[in-house]
Amino acid sequence: MVFDSTKKMKLIGMITAMDEELEAILSLIDNPEKEIYNKIHIYKGILNDQNIIVCKSGVGKVQAAMATTILITYFKADIVINVGIAGSLHKEVSLENVVIADKVAQWDFDLTAFNEMKGFANPRYTFEVSNILLDKLKKRLLNEQKVVFGPMVTGDQFVYQSNQIENIKDTYKEALCVDMEAGAIAQICSFLNIPFLIIRTISDIVDNDKSEETYEQLIIKASNVAAKYTRIVIEALFND
């Protein structure tokens, strides 16, 4: 099959941040066609009989917000899926576990000076994933031991220092993992009324630097796991 430009199928927009994440997704897509839009490389193709358009946004919230806006407003994506890696905030969420977010907040966004207290309970900070999508996925992934559903946080910092971790856990105790793009993607999708999903595989545990593999090796492995479960998610949502 090739990409159906007549839009008979829903268009799934995917956002990755890094080359490793992008390559893992592209390895699963039938006949990807490349084009460039405002310096962002876009790939169109078919995955699980669905129209897919995937891009590498680059790292950080501004890059992610820009890519999300382009996929929705220019390419008319019907749903946006953010796929990639994240750092675990809890030892029980271990390497190669897959976190499917039920909500996401930007931990470094701070309006406490105006009495807007940080935390998942405050809608100024938090963006929730559709319960309809989550319920469907939970039924399909019920017996998948690698998969965890729960909240996550995003910030424009690579989290590895104890003061960063303490800062996050002080206000977002329930957060399972942290990344640098998902919160911005969720905010744009919420503003434009487009459903979204965040699928992140754990590539590191932020308060534990003990690993026999290099970070680069862990990124590749985690990206491949994230891509595998993205395929399962698309099948569960659109092929049932």
Catalytic residue numbers read: 21, 204
Rounded Cα–Cα distance for residues 76 and 162 (Å): 41
Q: What is the largest CA-CA distance in the chain?
A: 54
Rounded Cα–Cα distance for residues 160 and 158 (Å): 6
DSSP for 68-81, please give it. HHHHHHTS--SEEE
Rounded Cα–Cα distance for residues 177 and 134 (Å): 18
DSSP for 158-222, please give it. ---SHHHHHHHHHH-TT--EEESSHHHHHHHHHHTT--EEEEEEEEEETTB---SS-HHHHHHHH
Rounded Cα–Cα distance for residues 82 and 60 (Å): 13
Asked if 137 and 233 touch (Cβ cutoff 8 Å), the reply is yes
